């Protein structure tokens, strides 16, 4: 697991596959289970945030952004450039 670091929250649009989203929601629900009324009490959007953030920390996003070769044009069109 990655060491704890100071972080900031950046709100961005991230493209993931519908299958990834479905898997996160299904697994998040499994992790908490339904309450007595059969309702799942979990913030699935928050879980997506957690999963992506953890992935970036564990997979060395800092190293990735330091490498200037990674700033080439991407096959995915950049949308809404500011």
Which pLDDT does position 1 carry in this prediction? 47
Q: What is the mean pLDDT of each run of 10 residues along the chain (82 residues)?
A: 75 95 96 93 94 95 94 67 54
DSSP designation for 72: S
What does DSSP assign to residue 60?
T
Q: Report residue 75: phi and psi, to 5°.
A: -65, -30
Find tokens 């999963």 and name the residue.
51
Backbone φ and ψ of 4, nearest 5°: -70, 135
β-bridge mates for residue 34, sequence order: 40
């Amino acid at each position: 697991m990655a060491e704890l670091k100071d972080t900031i929250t950046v709100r961005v649009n991230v493209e993931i596959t519908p299958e990834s989203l479905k898997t996160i929601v299904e697994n998040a629900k499994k992790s908490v289970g339904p309450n007595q009324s059969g309702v799942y009490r979990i913030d699935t959007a928050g879980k997506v945030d957690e999963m992506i953030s953890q992935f970036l920390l564990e997979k060395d996003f800092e190293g990735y952004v330091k490498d200037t070769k990674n700033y080439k044009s991407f096959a995915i069109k950049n949308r809404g450039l500011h």
